[in-house]
């Protein structure tokens, strides 16, 4: 089959084999056709509205040592911070009440201070604001995930990073791919919406493993998928490697939309870090979510996952206003509901 036939098959059946995915991912001439097809399927299944999720990066303290990440524990150059419960709540309140955001995302490194009791306390308080709540705080036990759910959390983001187990174990020393997969199963058991995803362009990651990643998303029936290019950080062991490209990241994202047509897919910040219009291009290639950062600039610069992550000279309110203009410029509007995954397939 040529690439047009493969894309038509994906649009009609939402299924492609690994070989077919590899074929489309390796073909350098099919990007635009793929992006247009994903845009059509996105419009058909999740509509033209874009869900904004206000991201609060509440601590950059991490016990893990992921080789790609600027927050890794061995990066001693990084100034570490942890917001207080009151500071976190104030940011959430501003995002919900003044900015009108309907989802708050709490993200952090894997620190020990925010234990189950403290997290549940924060979750309950934020849930008084009439918002959906997403957590992205790393690997926990089933009973912790259940406690977050009981406290009112709705969703959880935990990227599998790659389904290539050898690569995962090389890049995430001291961690286990199987344990991470177990966490995704536990999140489902706990009744939370499950978000996962990968980085594209990790050293040693090939096209075949990205095809496996997309099939993995379908296999676990993910509710959300975040895909972003790997961007090398100078203070990590992967400094000096080349990073992922915007084109390949968008292709993986577009194929994910074709195979999981009704899920939520963010236009990720890492895409914007590679090109000024990266997020807009993503919104026109299958994405339907943006996670504007509502963390105050004083702290934002220390949540330094990769270079170019945040424009710390623009206030959260001004960058949100610019984002609203950008969204209007492509004829899309902002959703006013909570943006849960509405299953249609």
Q: Which residues bind ligand SAM (CB under 6 A)?
A: 68-69, 71, 107, 109-110, 136, 138, 158-159, 161, 199, 228, 230-231, 233, 270, 305-306
Q: Report residue 321 CA to chain centroid gap.
A: 22
CB atoms within 10 A of CB 174: 10
Where helices occur in the chain by DSSP H, the ranges are: 3-13, 18-26, 31-46, 85-93, 116-126, 142-151, 165-171, 177-189, 207-219, 246-259, 269-274, 278-283, 297-300, 316-329
Between 228 and 261, whose beta carbon lies closer to ligand SAM? 228
Between 62 and 280, whose beta carbon lies closer to ligand SF4? 62
Between 61 and 99, whose beta carbon lies closer to ligand SAM? 61
Please choose which of ligand SAM, ligand SF4, none residue 228 contacts, taking the beta carbon within 5 to 8 angstroms, the exact cut-off set by kind: ligand SAM
Q: Does 71 bind ligand SF4 (CB under 6 A)?
A: yes
**Given 54, 109, 197, 201, the residue binding ligand SF4 (CB under 6 A):** 109
Do the beta carbons of residue 24 and residue 16 sit within 8 Å? yes
Q: Does 72 bind ligand SF4 (CB under 6 A)?
A: yes
Phi, psi of 144 (to 5 degrees): -65, -45
| Structure tokens that stand for 333 in this block | 């509007």
Between 20 and 172, whose beta carbon lies closer to ligand SAM? 172
Please choose which of ligand SAM, ligand SF4, none residue 261 contacts, taking the beta carbon within 5 to 8 angstroms, the exact cut-off set by kind: none
Between 181 and 233, whose beta carbon lies closer to ligand SAM? 233
Angle 274-302-77 from CA coordinates, rounded to 5°: 100
Between 148 and 306, whose beta carbon lies closer to ligand SAM? 306
Q: Tokens 């991201």 appear where?
A: 55
Do the beta carbons of residue 302 and residue 60 sit within 8 Å? yes
Among 7-15, 59-67, 149-157, 335-343, the segment contacting ligand SF4 (CB under 6 A): 59-67
Please choose which of ligand SAM, ligand SF4, none residue 199 contacts, taking the beta carbon within 5 to 8 angstroms, the exact cut-off set by kind: ligand SAM
Q: Does 69 bind ligand SF4 (CB under 6 A)?
A: yes
| Residue from 198, 193, 203, 192 nearest 215 by CA | 198
Q: How far apart, in Å, do the first and last CA atoms of the chain sit?
A: 25
Q: Tokens 């915007």 appear where?
A: 246
Please choose which of ligand SAM, ligand SF4, none residue 306 contacts, taking the beta carbon within 5 to 8 angstroms, the exact cut-off set by kind: ligand SAM
Between 216 and 306, whose beta carbon lies closer to ligand SF4? 306
Q: How does DSSP assign 260-327, residue by residue? A: STTSB-B--HHHHHHSTTHHHHHHTTT--EE--B-S-HHHHTT--SSTT---TTS-HHHHHHHHHHHH
Q: Does 64 bind ligand SF4 (CB under 6 A)?
A: yes
* Residue 5 CB, nearest approach to ligand SAM (Å): 33
Between 217 and 306, whose beta carbon lies closer to ligand SAM? 306
3 state DSSP class of 74: coil
Interface mask (CB under 6 A) for ligand SF4, residues 124-143, using x and -?
Answer: --------------x-----
* Residue 284 CB, nearest approach to ligand SF4 (Å): 28
* Residue 144 CB, nearest approach to ligand SAM (Å): 14
CB atoms within 10 A of CB 215: 17
* Residue 129 CB, nearest approach to ligand SF4 (Å): 26
Q: Does 104 bind ligand SF4 (CB under 6 A)?
A: no
The residues facing 225 across adjacent strands are 196
Do the beta carbons of residue 198 and residue 184 sit within 8 Å? no
Between 27 and 247, whose beta carbon lies closer to ligand SAM? 247
Using CB under 6 A as the criterion, which residues of the chain lie in contact with ligand SF4 when the complex forms? 62, 64, 66, 69, 71-72, 109-110, 138
């Amino acid at each position: 089959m040529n690439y047009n036939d493969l894309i038509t098959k994906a649009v009609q059946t939402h299924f492609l084999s690994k070989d077919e995915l590899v074929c489309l991912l390796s073909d350098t001439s099919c990007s635009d056709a793929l992006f247009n097809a994903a845009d059509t399927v996105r419009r058909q299944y999740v509509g033209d509205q874009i869900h904004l999720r206000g991201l609060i990066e509440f601590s950059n303290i991490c016990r893990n040592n992921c080789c790609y990440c600027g927050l890794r524990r061995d990066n001693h150059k990084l100034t570490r911070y942890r917001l207080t419960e009151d500071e976190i709540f104030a940011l959430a309140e501003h995002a919900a009440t003044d900015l009108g955001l309907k989802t708050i995302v709490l993200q952090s490194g894997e620190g020990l201070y925010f234990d189950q009791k403290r997290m549940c306390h924060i979750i309950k308080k934020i849930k008084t604001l009439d918002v959906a709540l997403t957590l992205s705080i790393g690997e926990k036990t089933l009973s912790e995930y259940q406690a977050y759910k009981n406290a009112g959390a709705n969703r959880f983001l935990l990227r599998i990073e790659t389904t290539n187990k050898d690569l995962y174990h090389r890049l995430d020393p001291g961690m286990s791919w199987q344990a991470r997969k177990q966490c995704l199963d536990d999140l489902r058991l706990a009744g939370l919406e499950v978000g996962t995803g990968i980085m594209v362009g990790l050293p040693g990651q090939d096209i075949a493993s990205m095809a496996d990643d997309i099939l993995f998303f379908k296999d676990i029936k993910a509710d959300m998928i975040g895909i972003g290019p790997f961007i090398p950080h100078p203070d990590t062991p992967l400094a000096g490697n080349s990073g992922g490209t915007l084109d390949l990241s968008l292709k993986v994202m577009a194929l994910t939309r074709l195979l999981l047509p009704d899920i939520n897919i963010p236009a990720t910040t890492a895409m914007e870090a590679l090109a000024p219009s990266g997020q807009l291009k993503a919104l026109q290639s299958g994405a339907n979510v943006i996670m504007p950062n509502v963390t105050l600039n004083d702290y934002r610069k220390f949540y330094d996952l990769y270079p170019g992550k945040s424009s710390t000279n623009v206030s959260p309110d001004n960058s949100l206003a610019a984002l609203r203009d950008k969204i209007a410029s492509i004829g899309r509007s902002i959703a006013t509901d909570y943006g849960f995954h509405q299953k249609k397939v």
